[in-house]
Amino acid sequence: MKIDHVHFYVEDAKAWRDWFVRHLGFQVVADSAIPPTFLEKGDDISWKAREDDAFHTCTQVVKSGPIYFLLSSPLLLTSPVAEFLRYHPPGVVDVAFCVENVEQVISLAQMHGAKVLQPIQQHRYGQEYIKWSKIAAWGSLTHTLIERKREGDERARGARGAREVGEAGEVGEVGEERVNGQLLLSSSSSSSSSSSWFTAIDHIVLNVDAGNLEYAVAWYENILNFQGQQTFNIQTARSALHSQVMISRNGDVQLPINEPASANSQIQEFLNVNRGPGIQHIALRTRNIIHAIAQFRASGLSLLPVSKGYYSQVRQRKGLPLSIKELDTIAQQEILVDWQEETFFGSKKNITPLLLQIFTQPIFGQPTFFFEFIERRYQAQGFGEGNFRALFAAIENEQIKRGSLG
């Protein structure tokens, strides 16, 4: 399993397309004023608009390396995006996963009571066979599940006689909402770009209501076969949260799930403003976070400041795997630093794995969704509690500024 793409519902898709290009160096893949269809052509992605769709939704697609974001906004009140935005602020509506066998995933999901929003659909595009389905996840979040097979693959050969669904790209309806055409990604090698700042989506964080963490964890274990990795209980004098990191069986998808542990927790503030559970942030992985953040700051991107005294505490920790000069540069950019010594086969590594992280301010003007940028050096895995606590404290400071935390 891996993350295929993420779909945002926003008020102005074109404005947000430009935001991603200007601040994060994304490239525009597709631009249309009607629901989109993506057809693979060679090693790239071509664009085809469905002529029979009403002009109710504007969808833009941007990419950075292997990362694809869909940005949709309403043109008419009949748009499903308009309906979403009447109740929720802008944010993530769908996280799509590539899976090996969509029938098996859907069968397991239904066995455990998941709601299937879109039955399995199938198309053949040239030498590629595509299957996809969509299930309801937590709150208003959905997961599109995509299976892709090439000509010559045994399962693909068996799919030749399967039912085609409408014209190219037409995939039917879910209730009153006509489902958009599917984003079909090219191979990771062809979709990567030397000019891209980002190499992957590192992780996606979900916030759920108090008391629901255990149930959300069980949902992802049962429905999508995730497993628990790390747990965190973060508390200050003012507020607290509980967190469980979930990870796919192949390790390619990391999904931390948070619940509030106090009435004024930053997680509770998110839930109040978002009017329910949802994606709090997406972490984008980069090979050189120092250069990337310098560029993002120059573009005017607003980033979360660290708390006072943070770097004094960092300098006092033992085993800092950075030179004084590099730490000074990191401090200038206000990047969080975390590390720990690891032991393999009884002997300590010569190089200490290192996590470097920084976070944007909420991008939609309300204390909901934000981005994280992360660099993992020397095969750093998982999440550092030091950085988690530093992020928690930094967001608390923003809550105090807003007057939402006493």
Q: Which residues contact 328 (CB under 8 A, 6 or more apart)?
A: none
169: left (phi over 0), alpha (psi -120 to 50) or beta: left
Angle CA 56–63–152, to nearest 5: 95
- pLDDT at res. 310: 86
Residue pLDDT, tens place only, 342-356:
544 444 556 778 889
On the question of pLDDT at 327 being above 70, the answer is yes
pLDDT confidence of residue 157: 34
Mean pLDDT in residue range 240-259: 93
- Average model confidence (pLDDT) for the chain? 81
| Domains 2-191 and 198-402 alike in fold | yes
Is the pLDDT at 215 greater than 80? The verdict is yes
What kind of fold does domain 198-402 have according to CATH?
Answer: 2,3-Dihydroxybiphenyl 1,2-Dioxygenase; domain 1 (3.10.180)
Q: pLDDT value at position 124?
A: 77
Query: CA-CA distances (angstroms) from residue 185 to 358, 379, 397?
Result: 28, 27, 40
Distance separating alpha carbons of residues 246 and 249, to the nearest angstrom: 10
- Residue 332 makes CB contacts below 8 A (sequence gap 6+) with none
Return d(Cα 196, Cα 292) in angstroms, integer: 10
Span 377-388, pLDDT tens digits? 877 777 766 666
pLDDT value for 318: 79
Identity of the highest mean pLDDT range in 144-153, 215-224, 345-354: 215-224
Q: What is the pLDDT of residue 406?
A: 58
pLDDT of residue 153: 62
Confidence of residue 152 (pLDDT cuts 50, 70, 90): low
Does the pLDDT at position 21 exceed 70? yes
* Topology annotation, domain 2-191: 2,3-Dihydroxybiphenyl 1,2-Dioxygenase; domain 1 (3.10.180)
Residue 272 in 3-state DSSP?
helix
Give the pLDDT of residue 239.
Answer: 76
Predicted confidence (pLDDT) at residue 63 exceeds the cutoff of 70: yes
Helix (H, G, I), strand (E, B) or coil at 131: strand
Indicate the pLDDT class of residue 341, thresholds 50, 70 and 90: low
Quick check: 44 pLDDT over 60? no
In this predicted model, what pLDDT tens digit does every residue of 253-292 receive, in sequence order? 999 999 999 888 889 999 999 999 999 999 999 999 999 9
Is the pLDDT assigned to residue 240 strictly greater than 70? yes
pLDDT in tens, 393-402: 777 777 667 7
Segment of 21-30, 37-46, 50-59 carrying the highest mean pLDDT: 21-30
Q: Which helix (H) or strand (E) holds 344?
A: strand 343-344
Which of 21-35, 184-198, 307-321 has the weakest average pLDDT? 184-198
Give the pLDDT band (50/70/90) at residue 6: very high
pLDDT-derived band of residue 339, with 50, 70 and 90 as boundaries? confident
Q: Residue 185: its pLDDT value, please? A: 39
Number of Cβ atoms within 10 Å of the Cβ of 402: 10
Q: What percent of the chain has pLDDT over 70?
A: 78
What residues form DSSP beta bridges with 125? Answer: 128
pLDDT band for 38, please (50, 70, 90 cuts).
Answer: very low
pLDDT band at 196 (very low <50, low <70, confident <90, very high): confident
Cβ neighbours of residue 239 closer than 8 Å, sequence gap 6 or more: 260, 261, 262, 264, 265, 266, 396, 399, 405
More confident residue, 76 or 37: 76
CB of 45 closer than 8 Å to CB of 184: yes
242 near 258, Cβ under 8 Å? yes
Going from N- to C-terminal start, the domains of the chain cover 2-191, 198-402
Amino acid, single-letter form, for residue 131:
K
